[in-house]
């Protein structure tokens, strides 16, 4: 009987406080969800970057839930000021212990706000290169040309030299022809091959011309623009088409030749 009396006494004394705290937390969760959906829809209409949009929505949800938690604790009669002070001291200690993690977080926010590169662009930095696959708060993921992943901590990116190629790249191809070749015929053949390739962009126009004169022949530079995803395939297609076109037009390639003379043989 004594236990039941104690339970009833506690239920009568604190039941409404517990119920009120649960109602406040439930209402806070609903409000946080509603505000998150509303803000996310607005930010999508303004074409905000996905990492920044998700971060903004999460921060708003966390702020709403923290306010609801403080109100719920107040229902139990907790003193909020000492709790806030304790959280501040604990946060300082955690911050000192996680300097590297916080450095990556701050760098990630810097990347998201300043936008030195975007998802889908081709970048080169810190002796690594690749397509930007994912930008997160702590790291950035690149897809290397061999399809492997390169995960770079964000604090290693901010402040370093970054080469951003954007969403297209210029190929640097070359083919050699003999010194006595008809340059007009050669340039016309190269131009036809490049213009027929579906991966080559029309704007900016490709750069085609004499790049170098060597002892073995004349080097023709071929520098068309393609999308980042078409770099590897475009190289192979253009070279294969050049071989076939040169054979069809009877244009010789400038293969290295050596003349050997026998004196007093």
CATH number at residue 151: 2.30.30.60
- Structural domain tally of the chain? 3
Residues 6+ apart with CB under 8 A from 179: 213, 217, 218, 254
| Band of residue 188 on the pLDDT scale cut at 50, 70, 90 | very high
The pLDDT score that the predictor gives to residue 141 is 92
The pLDDT score that the predictor gives to residue 83 is 59
Instruction: Pick 102 or 241 by higher pLDDT.
Output: 241
Residues 6+ apart with CB under 8 A from 220: 174, 175, 176, 177, 186, 187, 190, 208, 209, 210, 211
- With respect to residue 180, please indicate whether it lies within any of the assigned structural domains: yes
Residue 211 per-residue DSSP state: E
Domain co-membership, 145 together with 193: no
CA pair distance 38, 108, nearest whole angstrom:
25
User: Residue 9 phi/psi, 5° resolution?
Assistant: -65, -45
Which CATH number does the domain housing residue 59 bear?
1.10.287.1260
pLDDT in tens, 44-94: 776 666 666 777 778 778 878 887 777 777 666 666 666 566 666 555 555
Domain co-membership, 173 together with 203: yes
pLDDT at 25 over 60: yes
Average pLDDT across the chain, whole number: 80
Domain co-membership, 9 together with 54: yes
Q: What residue numbers bound the domain in which 182 lies? A: 168-248
- With respect to residue 30, please indicate whether it lies within any of the assigned structural domains: yes
The pLDDT score that the predictor gives to residue 155 is 87
- With respect to residue 147, please indicate whether it lies within any of the assigned structural domains: yes
- With respect to residue 38, please indicate whether it lies within any of the assigned structural domains: yes
Domain co-membership, 40 together with 61: yes
Which of 131, 166, 201 terminates a domain? The answer is 166
Instruction: Pick 124 or 54 by higher pLDDT.
Output: 124
CA pair distance 53, 37, nearest whole angstrom:
11
pLDDT at 5 over 60: no
Domain co-membership, 172 together with 210: yes
- With respect to residue 105, please indicate whether it lies within any of the assigned structural domains: no
Instruction: Pick 3 or 45 by higher pLDDT.
Output: 45
Which CATH number does the domain housing residue 191 bear?
3.30.70.100
- With respect to residue 109, please indicate whether it lies within any of the assigned structural domains: no
- With respect to residue 35, please indicate whether it lies within any of the assigned structural domains: yes
Average pLDDT over residues 142-155: 88
| Band of residue 15 on the pLDDT scale cut at 50, 70, 90 | low
Average pLDDT over residues 26-36: 83
CA pair distance 105, 155, nearest whole angstrom:
8
């Amino acid at each position: 009987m004594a236990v039941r009396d104690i339970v009833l006494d506690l239920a009568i004394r604190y039941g409404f406080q517990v119920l009120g705290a649960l109602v406040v937390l439930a209402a806070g969760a609903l409000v946080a969800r509603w505000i998150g959906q509303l803000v996310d829809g607005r930010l999508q209409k303004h074409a905000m970057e996905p990492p920044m949009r998700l971060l903004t929505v999460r921060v708003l949800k966390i702020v709403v839930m923290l306010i609801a938690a403080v109100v719920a604790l107040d229902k139990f009669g907790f003193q909020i000021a000492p709790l806030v002070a304790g959280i501040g001291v604990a946060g300082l200690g955690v911050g000192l212990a996680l300097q590297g993690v916080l450095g990556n977080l701050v760098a990630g926010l810097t990347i998201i706000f300043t936008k030195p590169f975007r998802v889908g662009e081709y970048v080169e930095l810190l002796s690594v290169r690749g397509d930007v696959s994912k930008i997160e708060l702590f790291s950035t993921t690149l897809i290397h040309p061999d399809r492997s992943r390169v995960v770079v901590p964000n604090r290693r990116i901010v402040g370093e030299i970054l080469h951003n190629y954007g969403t297209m790249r210029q190929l640097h191809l070359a083919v050699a022809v003999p010194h006595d070749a008809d340059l007009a015929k050669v340039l016309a053949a190269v131009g036809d091959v490049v213009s027929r390739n579906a991966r080559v962009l029309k704007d900016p126009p490709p750069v085609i011309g004499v790049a170098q004169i060597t002892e073995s022949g004349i080097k023709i530079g071929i520098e068309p623009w393609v999308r980042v995803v078409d770099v590897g395939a475009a190289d192979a297609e253009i070279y294969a088409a050049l071989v076939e076109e040169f054979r069809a037009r009877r244009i010789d390639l400038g293969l290295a030749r050596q003349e050997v003379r026998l004196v007093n043989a």
